[in-house]
Every structure is written in structure tokens, then in C-alpha cells.
A and B are shown apart, each in its own frame.
Chain A
């Protein structure tokens, strides 16, 4: 598995910088390239937070439109994608607040939970356990499993482990401290592992 490491002393300008400059110069087709590059990732982040397909579609559109409107405010000292994620997270939270009136939803709220902090299910998994399920079954298992985690854990896991962002970029995108990102990531990984064990553990003397 590829490891994800921060790039030390990153001096080369990110390729997005040139695209952003072209958009600022009035070239809308450069924005088309940026949207194509990131639309699926932004949709997934919105799904993780809102847990609602229609809301995620709206968030994705609104985030890209807002980023386009506010492009003059984008400072080159952060990455375009990190800045975009921050907009998408805020849009997702706003939509959730509209839907669940009175119920506060937050990414930076720390969830005190012991779940997963000490691994309990210590049974080994079957080799390639995902192959015991169809693609559709597996998709449902993965969705159901991650839905049980707090929103802040889900988004940290998505950004760090699925999309491969560095701890620093994840912290910046979510407005969290680096220790907070690290602590959430560990708990997210362990909780997901614990929950997936129910499906993937090696069965004694029997096929699934």
C-alpha cells in the first residue's frame, strides 16, 4: 500500500495555481478543469457530512459556485483544494443545520468516546474478506459502517486515508489542530476496524 507522507519543503507551485490564475484572468474553461478534477471528491465529503444524496448534490454545486465567486479572496499560501474543501464543509454544515433545526452539528466538536480506543474484536480476518461479498453488498457494508461514526471522524478519515491528504492539509481544510486530526484519525481507523470485523472475521470451519 502506498504510504502518505507530507512533502517537506514544497517549493514547486501546485499545478492548480496556474489554473486559478487563468480563471482570474477570465478563462472559464480553466475553472471547468478544476471542477472536473475535484467534483467527485467534494461530493463524497458532502455525503459524509450530510448523509443525504440531494443535499450532497446541492452542496457540491453551491461549493463550486461560491469558490468561483470568492476566487479573488483565495490566497496562494494555501492549496486550492484545501480552500475548496473548507467551503464545502461549511456549506454541508449549513445545509444540515437547515434540515435539523435546533440540533447543532459540528466538525470541531470533540467526541468523547472510548469505542475503538481499545480493540476488543481480536479475531483475525479471512484472507481478502471483501471477496466474500458482491460489490453492491460491500458498498452497503462500507456505507453502513462509516455512518456510525461521528461526522468529524468520517471527514478526517475520508480526507486522510481515502483522498490521501496530509495531516497538515486536513487540519487546514477542517479548521482543526494537527493533534485533533491525529486523534480523530486513530479513533476513526480503530472504530471502523472494529465494526468491519463483524463482517470480515474468519469464520470457524464454515464458508460465509
Chain B
């Protein structure tokens, strides 16, 4: 397997959507390719960081104000 072929399957590997046979081939490639190993681990880390440190979170006060405004208008029939 080449690095290009590995990269084409990177998302399926991360999302756990590869067959057992393909997974074995991918793992064999990883054992001999430090570049692809780094690409995989740092891409996984990228997703993990964005998932655990959610940006654009609404502060509680603002959330309540917006929520109240939405519900007030819905109760009036918008």
C-alpha cells in the first residue's frame, strides 16, 4: 500500500468503517511508515481537541436571554 492509498482510506479508518482485511493492510502500512502514522495520530488528535474544547459556546446568561425571547414570540404565535 502506498501513502496515497493510505490517505484515501484515512477517514474510513478514523470512522471505523473499514473491513477487517483493509484494516490489516492499513496497519501493515503504518508499521513501516512514520509519516502516515503521524498523519493518523495528529488527525485523530485534531478531531478530539475540537470535540472536547467546543468553540462558540453560548454563555449561560446570553443563552437564557435568547431562549426567553424565542419562547415569548412562539407563545404569541410568532
Judging by beta carbons under 8 Å apart, are A1 and B44 in contact?
yes
Judging by beta carbons under 8 Å apart, are A61 and B69 in contact?
yes
Is the CB of A170 closer than 8 A to any CB of chain B? no
Q: How far is the CB of A117 from chain B (nearest CB, A)?
A: 8
Judging by beta carbons under 8 Å apart, are A61 and B66 in contact?
yes
Alpha-carbon gap, A200 to B50, bound state (A): 14
Within 8 Å by CB of B11, from A61, A65, A189, A197, lies A189
Within 8 Å by CB of A61, from B14, B44, B70, B75, lies B70
Judging by beta carbons under 8 Å apart, are A32 and B15 in contact?
no
Is the CB of A35 closer than 8 A to any CB of chain B? yes
Question: How many A residues are at the interface, by size bracket?
Answer: 35 or more
Within 8 Å by CB of A189, from B46, B67, B73, lies B46
- 45-67 of chain A: CB within 8 A of chain B: 47-48, 56-57, 60-61, 64-65
Judging by beta carbons under 8 Å apart, are B50 and A192 in contact?
yes
Is the CB of A101 closer than 8 A to any CB of chain B? no
Is the CB of A93 closer than 8 A to any CB of chain B? no
Judging by beta carbons under 8 Å apart, are B48 and A35 in contact?
no
Q: How far is the CB of B29 from chain A (nearest CB, A)?
A: 14
- 20-53 of chain B: CB within 8 A of chain A: 34-35, 38-39, 41-51, 53
Is the CB of B16 closer than 8 A to any CB of chain A? yes
User: Which of A14-22, A102-110, A122-130 forms contacts with chain B?
Assistant: A122-130
Contact with A along B53-69 (1 / 0, CB 8 A): 11111100011001101
> Which residues of chain B come closer than 8 Å to A75, judged between CB atoms?
none
Main secondary structure of the interface of B (DSSP, over half): helix
Known A-B contacts A47-B56, A124-B41, A125-B45; A3 and B16 likewise in contact (beta carbons under 8 Å) = yes
Judging by beta carbons under 8 Å apart, are A39 and B58 in contact?
yes
B43 — nearest CB in chain A belongs to which residue?
A193
Judging by beta carbons under 8 Å apart, are A39 and B67 in contact?
yes
Is the CB of A43 closer than 8 A to any CB of chain B? yes
> Which residues of chain B come closer than 8 Å to A64, judged between CB atoms?
70, 74
Q: How far is the CB of A158 from chain B (nearest CB, A)?
A: 8
Known A-B contacts A39-B63, A48-B56; A28 and B38 likewise in contact (beta carbons under 8 Å) = no
> Which residues of chain A come closer than 8 Å to B49, judged between CB atoms?
130, 138, 142, 196
Q: How far is the CB of A39 from chain B (nearest CB, A)?
A: 6
Q: How far is the CB of A69 from chain B (nearest CB, A)?
A: 5
Is the CB of A80 closer than 8 A to any CB of chain B? no
Within 8 Å by CB of B50, from A32, A40, A157, lies A157
* A-B residue pairs, 3 tightest by C-beta: A3-B16, A47-B56, A193-B46
Task: Give 5 CB contacts A-B under 8 Å.
Answer: A32-B71, A143-B56, A161-B50, A189-B10, A189-B43
